Structure 1
């Protein structure tokens, strides 16, 4: 019993003797927790391009031999493919969406193209062109119906989305940041509180353990644990779960399904699957453009020259069509309503993959930074960076005697 009291008395004495040093431990741990989590978030999205020495860099791998590229920019292809598969597989039917277009309305919007082709290319008088415009209008209307029936062969949604993400690797990151804004803030800020609580434990251990390396090891644990705890808190549990009489509890991201559905659908409809980008894909993708040309040629009585001319002029006249197509396809409400109906397990897959890809790397990076911060705490506690097991032993010399001192007995 007396030994236990003596241990606590010794700890109390240590605290009184260096209370400023020990008070700094949870404060520094709080900063370490915040900073490691902040850095983890930055490492997910930045830098867009690889920064470091190009000694060993692999496509799709963020970490090089000496350098780093953001997880999302590095894995843009893989992530965007998974995302577009989710969109086309669970959220919308391409055939059903394009079926909403009114062929006669699209033909009406493209009527100016008929006059342009007739006047500028064939020098056909305007009166003659106008006289037969109804015929070409019928052809265009019938062609739109053909497009609707064959839209899968004419529009490769997967390639359209993935190519955009690869051309602008920041775009996918912006989508994830918009959808997970609150979760990313939580991931950063929670490090402050988790770090402080773990720092209090770290301080208590330092009072009872005489090894200064407990601070560095503790710092590594703080950096590891704050990242791990925050990531778990965001996505676990997936389904509402009661713990005894408490709850139900659910991951923070899962509780915001309606809000995230709104953000995701709005961003996707306004920045990714727009009429302009869909038609660009149809007309420029080598596979789909060939199908588009053949379908058009059939409607133009087999005339390759006429089909070539229409394809050439079409991009100059689509500006009139895009507003109507964007409005009529109604991708934003379609995506939103479908996403709101997703199960929790399905919805968790919307954001979690960006963390899963290199979750272990992020957690280990936090541990390393925490360990380095612990060295700072060790320096504060000991006054120097000392490796006790490497410390050289020096031979003690006898004390020097003042001059004229009597010889030692």
Structure 2
């Protein structure tokens, strides 16, 4: 009944104290539970579960993996690091030195295989001393081939290496890694979201108890539950990113968006993760050798190898041309180039330790991230929330309303 007297309210609270006590407690549980569900819905499941296309769910981040990865990539390539910065730190002579042994071994094997393939009897009939001269000449030129290649790559880095494609390809291929980027960058913010549900929910639960004592309307419970789920989701998200800079409120306390306040801490963790998992020497080498622009690199390799073969064949070149024919000699050079290219991924793996130290990707990222403005820094984590944010808030409200409905039933049937 609406408008009950003070004495009746006190008596009712005395009789049903456990119900009134349960209201802020249940509201706190609602707040906490809805936050856990909302966070899980952001990242899980990795693949769509249910009946396509609409009856089911896929985590917001995995579902929009391509767009999320593109946003992450744009932040890195536009504000943090460029292909030029990566390759400028590599010394061509040192690279050649690092891969010298495996490269020389491969050149000897390839030269023997190709010579045998094009004229089986000729290569065996040539004295071993002559064969060693030919192989030795090509091997001696190998470091120069590598140095020329590195110089050519640096001169036309955008033509042979697509950093954005490498980043996006790796993140879309590995949705769990994409999740990790957002989770690890914002792990304290996600913890805050979870626990804020308890605090804000309990406060709303106190107002709920007062409203029930005054009005005794069962609809108060589901409305308060829905409000708890909606408001706590909305407020927690606001408090993570706002205000951008420290701001004092009511002259009593100062607040800055939690994520922005952790600028230096996040920069260190983020730079470490990206350097270990995405912009790694292995991924860079693989992208250069097999990525969408690798054809241009192949042309570079082919040009360098063919020039060396022509210049180092020396006195035996006329014999080779006579034996296999001019056309097949050209084909032989192309095959040698192709096999050198095929052997490069394994060969280049020997320089990964040097490249990791020389490139120093982590420190570049950390330093650049710490220089970002609050608005730029926000973009590192914000995309995870901004995509379909309304869904998360709505789910919180619906879950809160449902729990409130159950609570309403319990209050009505267990009140004395």
Give me the TM-score of the superposition, normalised by structure 2: 0.85
The equivalent of 1:29 in structure 2 is 27
CA pair 229-118 structure 1, distance change in 2 beyond 3 A? closer
* Residue number in structure 1 paired with 2:268: 262
Secondary structure of residue in 1 paired with 2:46: coil
Tell me the SS of whatever aligns to 1:122: helix
User: Are 1:103 and 2:92 an aligned pair?
Assistant: yes
Question: Does 2:96 align with 1:90?
Answer: no
Which structure: greater helix fraction?
2
d(CA) in 2 for partners of 1:278, 1:68: 34
The reply on whether 1:161 has 2:191 as its aligned counterpart is: no
- Rounded Cα–Cα distance in structure 1 between residues aligned with 2:400 and 2:234: 13
Relative to structure 1, the CA distance from residue 293 to residue 133 in structure 2 (aligned partners, 3 Å threshold; closer, same or farther) is: same
3-state SS, counterpart of residue 245 of structure 1: coil
2:302 maps to 297
Distance 1:126 1:45, change over 3 A: farther
Counterpart in the other structure of 2:14:
16
* 8 Å Cα contact 1:44-1:354 kept in structure 2: yes
SS in 1 for 2:222: helix
The residue number in structure 2 matching 1:185 is 191
Alignment of 1:192-341 (within 5 A): 192-285=198-291, 287-301=292-306, 303-341=333-371
Higher relative contact order, structure no. (Cα contacts within 8 Å, ≥ 6 residues apart): 2
Deviation per residue, 1:103-127 (Å, 9 max, x gap): 0111112222443234322228556
Secondary structure of the equivalent of 1:242? strand
Unaligned runs of 5+ in 1: 58-63, 385-409
Report the CA distance shift for 1:121/1:135 in structure 2 as closer, same or farther (over 3 A): closer
CA displacement at 1:132 relative to structure 2: 4.7
Name the TM-score, length of structure 1 as normaliser: 0.86
Q: Structure 2 vs 1, CA of residues 103 and 263 (structure 1 numbering), >3 Å: closer, same or farther?
A: same
Question: Do 2:103 and 2:347's aligned partners in 1 also have CA atoms closer than 8 Å?
Answer: no
Number of equivalent positions: 371
Deviation string, structure 1 residues 351-401 (Cα, Å, up to 9, x no partner): 0110111211101100000011101211111129xxxxxxxxxxxxxxxxx
Residue 244 of structure 1 deviates from its aligned partner by 4.4
SS of residue paired to 1:52: strand
Q: Give the RMSD, CA atoms, in angstroms.
A: 1.9
SS of alignment partner, residue 67 of structure 1: strand
Q: Say whether the 8 Å CA contact 1:15–1:22 is kept in structure 2.
A: yes
- Shift of the 223–114 alpha-carbon distance from structure 1 to 2, 3 Å rule, reads closer
